[in-house]
Every structure is written in C-alpha cells, then in structure tokens.
Amino acid sequence: YYVDALMRLRKNRSAMVCLFVIVVFIIVAFTAQWISPYDPYEIDLKNMLEGPSAEHWMGTDEYGRDIFSRILYGTRISLSVGLVSQIISTVLGVVLGSIAGYYGGKIDMLISRLMEVFSAFPDILFAIGIMFVLGQGILNIFIALGILGWVSTARLVRSQVLQLKETEYIAAAKSAGATSFWLITRHMIPNCVSTIIILITMGIPGAIMSEASLSFLGLGVSPPTASWGSMINTARIYILSDPTYSIFPGIAIIILVLAFNIFGD
C-alpha cells in the first residue's frame, strides 16, 4: 500500500515540486546562520529602510537590519511552529479520539462535548485569548496552537475507532485476552496512520498562518526575534514609502503555505 502510494506521489509533478520547495525551506531553516549574508539582529542606522540593492537584496528595515537575512531566520519560527504545534495537537487528538471511540458511553459523551466547546469559537480568537493569558513567546505559541488543533484529529480518529472495534479481528484479539491498551495502540491507532499523516500535512500551513497572524497582532514571538508575521506588522507603517518591506515576508508565507497545502492534497 505504502509503496503504491509513494509511486503515485512520484508521478504527481505538482506534489514533487511542492515537496522540493518544502525541503528547501527546511534546509534554509537549519543552515540560516551560515547562508545569511548579514546578522539579522545587527542594527545599522545609517542604512535604514533602504530598497533592494546589490548589498541588501531585499532592502533593510527601520533599524537597518537586512530583510533577506531576517526572512531566512524567520523560516525557523514558521516551520518549528507548524511542526511542534501539530505534534502536540496530533498526540492530544489521537489519545482523546481513540479513548472516546473505544470506550464510548459517558467518556465518549464527555470528550465529544469538549470537542464541541473548542469548535464553538474561531481558532484565531481562541489563540488570541490564550496568548493574552500566557503572554508572548515561542513556547506559548506552541502550546496555544497545539491545544487548538486537536479537535479535527480526535473526530476522525474517533470515527475510525468506532468502525474498527466492531471488526472480527478485534473481537478475535479480545477473545485471546488482549488488553484495551494493546488493542488501541497495536491495532486501532496504526490503522489510522494514513489519515493522521494527511491531517498533519494539512494542519502545518494552518499553524504557520496562525503564528503569522498572532505575530502580526503583536501576540507572537517577542521582538527582536525574526518572524514573518511581526515583520509584516512593523512594515505597515512604511507601506507607502517602502512597500517591499512587507511584500517579501508575505511572499515567503504564501510560498510555504501553498507548498504544504498542495502537497497535502
């Protein structure tokens, strides 16, 4: 099954192009300190708000910092938020979804009501509320977005577990003395892996956009940490005098989010 899926993936040109783009961004995130032409935090007041040039390919910001270097370092924030928040939300969703689907009854009702509560509010508003309580910081963003992203995973895992627990091989395993923990971890969750992988792939761009939105609102990472969203937020003041300041980090967000979305599809 997996070999066939990989073969079909290799024949999909758009998916392979997007995978290449994602790999490039990952390489940039790991090698930013070596490939950046300037220190992204070095202030140079003599070169404030310069346009693109041979020295500064994407210009400089209000402190004379190289925008290209800050975009390279901002890749780390976006990818780490996307990956870590999805790991947290996936773990929560798989655990709660499998428990609700397997045990049913009052446990299922309690977890289902909890999912309804989290689904009742737009994710970004919920994230804003959590960040107001926790404060700025990359760790708090991980927690906020991780907590908010588990509902869709839990719902799909719950529905699949409800179907799987009625199958004959699960009944045979029960009659052989298999414990509930064994059935969930060795039989049910592995059968949900393909769905979980798709949810992670589709959830990463959403987390990246949420981080950019929070940083744009001043609730994301603390300055002077390089973040695409905070760069766009700061650039609003100079949108007429220096439009390239906000355009380049915006393009970076668009490319990365589109790559993940198309690859996930």
- Quick one: pLDDT band at residue 53, thresholds 50, 70, 90? confident
Asked whether the predicted pLDDT for residue 1 surpasses 60, the reply is: no
Choice among 62-66, 92-96, 142-146, 164-168 with the minimum mean pLDDT? 164-168
Long-range contacts, 223-226 (Cβ 8 Å, 24+): 224/41, 225/77, 225/138, 226/40, 226/41, 226/69, 226/70, 226/71, 226/73, 226/74, 226/77
**What's the rounded Cα separation, in Å, for the pair 165 and 14?**
37
pLDDT, averaged across the chain = 86
Q: Mean per-residue pLDDT for 153-171?
A: 86
> Which range, 45-54, 207-216, 237-246, 253-262, is most confident?
253-262
> Which range, 3-7, 89-93, 125-129, 209-213, is most confident?
89-93
- Quick one: pLDDT band at residue 184, thresholds 50, 70, 90? confident
Taking residue 165's Cβ as centre, other Cβ atoms within 10 Å add up to: 20
Q: How much is the pTM?
A: 0.83
At residue 70, the pLDDT reads: 93
At residue 73, the pLDDT reads: 93
At residue 31, the pLDDT reads: 93
Q: Mean per-residue pLDDT for 215-244?
A: 84
Return the higher-pLDDT residue of 224 and 91: 91
Asked whether the predicted pLDDT for residue 248 surpasses 80, the reply is: yes
**What's the rounded Cα separation, in Å, for the pair 58 and 235?**
13
> Which range, 70-79, 124-133, 170-179, 226-235, is most confident?
70-79
**What's the rounded Cα separation, in Å, for the pair 198 and 202?**
6
* Structure tokens given for 19: 């995978």
**What's the rounded Cα separation, in Å, for the pair 161 and 173?**
15
- Quick one: pLDDT band at residue 2, thresholds 50, 70, 90? low
